[in-house]
A = this chain, B = another copy of it.
Amino acid sequence: MTQIPQAAFIHEVDQLKAIKRQLRLPHDEERQENSAEHSWHVALSALMLADYAEQSVDISRVITMILIHDLVEIDAGDMFAFAGAADHAEQELKELAAAKRIFGLLPAEQGQHYLKLWLEFEAAETNDARFAKAMDRVLPVFQNMQNQGGSWARHKVSQQQILDRNTELQTCAPKLWDYVNEQTSLAVAKGWLKS
């Protein structure tokens, strides 16, 4: 029998489709967005917004990071962006263990390659990782603005929280930073974000 050693990984990642995020989808009966379709949307948005990157990025590496960045949620679950610091620290440990397990399903060399790439994304120190992470964080701004404040309004999020979360854009993609500033001010005026 022909063996495809990647098959276990391909099967495993199917589970990301069951990981629910706080964001709800206006086009699909307000069901919660899952992390697989979110990853697709971030990847596609990053492609379309690549020219806004201030530093040179390898968009192929950016897209790859985005496609894999949420896989750890299969074990660790999704944490709402504005949970407390202690929760985030515990989550980081869970996510590292998850990354080792899930990329460990791949042939050794391939698994190591993607584990390293995931760690690079998490550290957010290279241009590619910083841009990838910025895309992951800015997409909900587009989505919530289109959806009367969406998850912000429900969770009583403030403008400052959104700006803090997107602060990387200042150096990473300044025009998008301006956009986020203006859009979140608009959201405050509309009562979708706390001032």
A binding-site residues for B, Cβ under 8 Å: 1-2, 4, 6-7, 9-11, 13-18, 25-28, 33-34, 36-37, 39-41, 43-45, 47-49, 52, 59-60, 63-64, 67-68, 106, 110, 139, 142-143, 146, 175-176, 178-179, 182
Contacts and interface: CB of A to CB of B under 8 A. Distances in A.
A43 B67 contact: yes
A49 B175 contact: no
A14 B145 CA distance: 13
Given A2-B175, A10-B48, A14-B41, 8 more contacts: A1-B182, A2-B178, A4-B49, A11-B146, A36-B36, A37-B40, A43-B43, A60-B63
B6 A17 contact: no
8 contacts: A2-B175, A2-B179, A2-B182, A4-B175, A6-B49, A11-B142, A17-B27, A44-B68
A64 B47 contact: yes
Nearest to A180: B2
Contacts of A14: 25-27, 41, 143, 146
